[in-house]
Amino acid sequence: MPNKLLLVASENKKLERIVTKSKLTRPIVQRYVAGTTLAEALDVTEQLNSVGIDVSLDLLGESVHDLKQSEAATAEYIRVIEGMAPRSASATVSVKLSQLGIVISSESCEKNLRRLLEAARAHGCEVEVDMEHSSVGRETLEIFRRSHAEYPETRVAIQACMRSTFQDLYEFGDNPPKIRLVKGAFDEKVDVAILDRDDVTAQYQHFAKWALANLPDPAFGTHDDACIETVKQTARELGIDKRAFEFQMLQGVRRELQEQLVREGYRVRVYLPYGTEWYPYLTRRMAEKPANLLLFLRSVVGS
Amino acid sequence: MPNKLLLVASENKKLERIVTKSKLTRPIVQRYVAGTTLAEALDVTEQLNSVGIDVSLDLLGESVHDLKQSEAATAEYIRVIEGMAPRSASATVSVKLSQLGIVISSESCEKNLRRLLEAARAHGCEVEVDMEHSSVGRETLEIFRRSHAEYPETRVAIQACMRSTFQDLYEFGDNPPKIRLVKGAFDEKVDVAILDRDDVTAQYQHFAKWALANLPDPAFGTHDDACIETVKQTARELGIDKRAFEFQMLQGVRRELQEQLVREGYRVRVYLPYGTEWYPYLTRRMAEKPANLLLFLRSVVGS
């Protein structure tokens, strides 16, 4: 699926330092990232809201490796919620459990997540739990599952490429969660994930139909015309209202399509990252979009 | 997955007449088919039983197109059960619902199946419902499902390649059926099935682990060393007895491996077809095994 070299690059710390300092990466960063501060991100949020697009704010940063950092990230996320709530009624926050310390301690990560969910609820906004590499994916889902009964408004990202996806969802039983269906952007092995590109697309479409028929308020995280068409058509066939689900896309990707879907009456939410730790996020985006690869490589070589 | 040309050939009636008459196909037929009569099939059954291998008898023939034919096939299957029961305590029969008239009438097909299940039970033997092309697959599963509560001893073949496999199984709820897990041998489209060969193998392995942990007395229909190894290893890890599941293989394929598994203490069952309508069955086997393709094509050209 995504470019493997770039996925490896996304975890290379030395390369991260070089690329982050390079001025040549600035145009790419500006396209995909809403800025380095919450204030900038909230300005972009309002711009998007003004054309009918919802956002999900993502504080960049992943794989925190000590408790202090994970608590700082949690506190920062609570500030995001506090800053966001009065400016955008529909905004959500997207959080990676690796940022909340899943690698250090599952227990403290869960505690951090619950603090976040409580703060979000107090401010009338919702949280979306991003999915990460399978090395933490199952634990992410288990922590999410334990909070789900208490906070059913929370959404979790589910990857169509993963072989366990249906099992994972069925294990919720009669009370399935809100999901954001994505194809999957991590470098996974064939034993846990479907790797063939066309098969993943078909799997996404298959799952999308199932989600529309079986899950509450599903979100479809995709820029793929074929997948979007499947969602639209299935919703029509099942008589599902255009406002009973949503499309999610990344900041900087297919803006015209986003606005077109809004004009057609669909809900659209843009995943809006901000912060300074954009390197792993952007290398994954580059891995998905080969057209940007040359620009990106030039920024590495030029530094 | 399987050779597409041969799968198309398997449904070509003109080619079927030519190939069936050709004497050159005889060596292939003899390898894969137990004979044209029940008596011959029962002799082969006893030979296999004598080396510790169970069988599942399959009366060749599919896609019956009138009610009389479907009733005749049902009656013939009942004769199989009556003939088989006193000769082999462990033998099962494998039946295709297209033979019992699923294309003509779902209701009469279900009636035929129930007659068969009742006869099997009366003779202390069990039935396995083969899976067929997706054009009748869902209906096959629905008919099976309706009979399952009453006849839980019946096994159903489930294809790892199908995108709906997990859904199909989960829909049984707390009372899952006995399954025969196979990769899938039909010419399916990408919207319903995983097509990439390696992905199907990985999907099989993933599903096999799940089946061992979650399903009663699973059967693993595979000749693939990697899949067999996954089953063995998972059973060891989960502390599952070697007799609590079984391997199933086709007559004529990997006999040495079959006997080796028996020596290692595993249950092995051979799918043993007999009858005159071997053409669609054998072209599917050829499609799976390119090594036999040349021999097969020569038999067509030579006729």
What is the distance between the alpha carbons of residues A179 and A174, in angstroms, rounded to a whole number?
Answer: 15
What is the distance between the alpha carbons of residues B80 and B72, in angstroms, rounded to a whole number?
Answer: 12
What is the distance between the alpha carbons of residues A2 and A197, in angstroms, rounded to a whole number?
Answer: 9
pLDDT of residue B55: 98
For residue range B122-167, list pLDDT tens digits in order.
Answer: 999 999 999 999 999 999 999 999 999 999 999 999 999 999 999 9
For residue range B216-225, list pLDDT tens digits in order.
Answer: 999 999 999 9
For residue range B75-106, list pLDDT tens digits in order.
Answer: 999 999 999 999 998 999 999 999 999 999 99
The two tokens of residue B130 are 């083969």
pLDDT of residue B225: 96
H-run or E-run covering A221:
strand A219-221
Cβ-defined contact of B163 to A198 (cutoff 8 Å) = no
Residue A241 contacts B where some CB pair is shorter than 8 Å: no
Q: In chain A, which residues have their Cβ closer than 8 Å to the Cβ of B161?
A: none
pLDDT of residue A301: 55
Cβ-defined contact of B196 to A195 (cutoff 8 Å) = yes
Is residue A22 over pLDDT 50? yes
Q: In chain A, which residues have their Cβ closer than 8 Å to the Cβ of B196?
A: 194-196, 199
CA-based nearest residue in chain A for residue B194: A199
- Answer whether B298's CB lies under 8 Å from B24's CB: yes
Most B CBs within 10 Å: which of A161, A206, A229, as the mutation test of the B interface? A206
Contacts within 8 Å (CB) and 24+ apart, A105-110: A105/A67, A106/A139, A106/A143, A108/A67, A108/A70, A109/A70, A109/A143, A110/A143, A110/A146, A110/A147
Is residue B303 over pLDDT 50? no
Cβ-defined contact of B196 to A192 (cutoff 8 Å) = no
**A190 to chain B, closest Cα gap in Å:** 6
Cβ-defined contact of A163 to B202 (cutoff 8 Å) = yes
What is the distance between the alpha carbons of residues B152 and B243, in angstroms, rounded to a whole number?
Answer: 19
**B138 to chain A, closest Cα gap in Å:** 15
- Dihedral (C-alpha) B214, B218, B224, B226: value to the nearest 10 degrees? 30
> If you ran DSSP here, which 8-state letter would residue B152 be given?
T
ipTM of the complex: 0.79
For residue range A72-124, list pLDDT tens digits in order.
Answer: 999 999 999 999 999 998 999 999 999 999 999 999 999 999 999 999 999 99
> If you ran DSSP here, which 8-state letter would residue B95 be given?
E
Q: Which of A155, A180, A269, A284 is catalytic?
A: A180
What is the distance between the alpha carbons of residues B202 and B198, in angstroms, rounded to a whole number?
Answer: 6
Amino acid at residue number B96:
K
- Answer whether A261's CB lies under 8 Å from A268's CB: yes
**B198 to chain A, closest Cα gap in Å:** 8
Q: Average pLDDT of chain B?
A: 90
Q: Average pLDDT of chain A?
A: 90
List the single residue in A163, A166, A192 with the smallest CB-CB distance to B167: A166
- Answer whether B81's CB lies under 8 Å from B57's CB: no
Q: In chain A, which residues have their Cβ closer than 8 Å to the Cβ of B158?
A: none
Place of tokens 């007799």: B243
Q: What is the mean pLDDT of residues A240-249?
A: 98
For residue range A178-201, list pLDDT tens digits in order.
Answer: 999 999 988 899 999 998 889 999
Cβ-defined contact of B167 to A202 (cutoff 8 Å) = no
pLDDT of residue A303: 40
pLDDT of residue A291: 60
Q: Which residues contact B267 (CB under 8 A, 6 or more apart)?
A: B54, B242, B243, B245, B246, B247
Question: Nearest-CA neighbor of B289 among B32, B26, B59?
Answer: B32
According to DSSP, the residues that pair with B292 across neighbouring strands are none
pLDDT of residue A289: 67
H-run or E-run covering B93:
strand B92-95
How is B159-199 classified by DSSP, letter by letter? ETTBTTHHHHHHTTTTSPPEEEEE---S---TTTB---HHH
Place of tokens 């079984």: B246
For residue range B165-184, list pLDDT tens digits in order.
Answer: 999 998 898 899 999 999 99
pLDDT band (50, 70, 90) for residue A173: confident
Most A CBs within 10 Å: which of B206, B210, B227, as the mutation test of the A interface? B206
Residue B171 contacts A where some CB pair is shorter than 8 Å: no
- Dihedral (C-alpha) B192, B193, B194, B196: value to the nearest 10 degrees? -120
CA-to-CA separations, B202 to B206, B223, B243, B283, in angstroms, rounded: 6, 14, 24, 25
A198 catalytically annotated: no
For residue range B26-49, list pLDDT tens digits in order.
Answer: 777 888 999 999 999 999 999 999
Burial of B26 (0-12, 13-18, 19+ CB in 10 A): exposed
What is the distance between the alpha carbons of residues B186 and B11, in angstroms, rounded to a whole number?
Answer: 11
Place of tokens 């069925």: A170
Maximum alpha-carbon separation in chain A: 55
Q: How many CB atoms lie within 10 A of CB A14?
A: 7
pLDDT band (50, 70, 90) for residue B293: low
Q: In chain B, which residues have their Cβ closer than 8 Å to the Cβ of A227?
A: none
**Side-chain half-sphere exposure of B89, counting CA atoms within 13 A:** 2
Most B CBs within 10 Å: which of A190, A201, A212, as the mutation test of the B interface? A190
* Exposure string for B79-95, b = 16+ CB within 10 A, e = fewer: ebbebbbeebeebbbbb
Amino acid at residue number B70:
S
What is the distance between the alpha carbons of residues B30 and B136, in angstroms, rounded to a whole number?
Answer: 29
B180 catalytically annotated: yes
Residue A227 contacts B where some CB pair is shorter than 8 Å: no
List the single residue in B167, B195, B198 with the smallest CB-CB distance to A190: B198
Residue A199 contacts B where some CB pair is shorter than 8 Å: yes
Residue A176 contacts B where some CB pair is shorter than 8 Å: no
Cβ-defined contact of A202 to B190 (cutoff 8 Å) = yes
pLDDT band (50, 70, 90) for residue B295: low
Most A CBs within 10 Å: which of B163, B170, B171, B205, as the mutation test of the A interface? B163
Cβ-defined contact of A194 to B210 (cutoff 8 Å) = no
Question: Nearest-CA neighbor of A32 among A266, A298, A284, A299?
Answer: A284
Is residue A14 over pLDDT 80? no
List the single residue in B164, B167, B191 with the smallest CB-CB distance to A205: B191
List the single residue in B167, B196, B205 with the smallest CB-CB distance to A199: B196
What is the distance between the alpha carbons of residues B163 and B168, in angstroms, rounded to a whole number?
Answer: 9
Residue A190 contacts B where some CB pair is shorter than 8 Å: yes
Is residue B297 over pLDDT 90? no
Q: In chain A, which residues have their Cβ closer than 8 Å to the Cβ of B210?
A: 167
pLDDT of residue B42: 96
**B181 to chain A, closest Cα gap in Å:** 16
What is the distance between the alpha carbons of residues A52 and A262, in angstroms, rounded to a whole number?
Answer: 7
What is the distance between the alpha carbons of residues B6 and B19, in angstroms, rounded to a whole number?
Answer: 13
For residue range B108-122, list pLDDT tens digits in order.
Answer: 999 999 999 999 999
pLDDT of residue A286: 77
> If you ran DSSP here, which 8-state letter would residue A175 be given?
S
Cβ-defined contact of A206 to B164 (cutoff 8 Å) = yes
Q: Which residues contact B133 (CB under 8 A, 6 or more apart)?
A: B186, B187, B188
Q: Which residues contact B119 (CB under 8 A, 6 or more apart)?
A: B77, B78, B81, B82
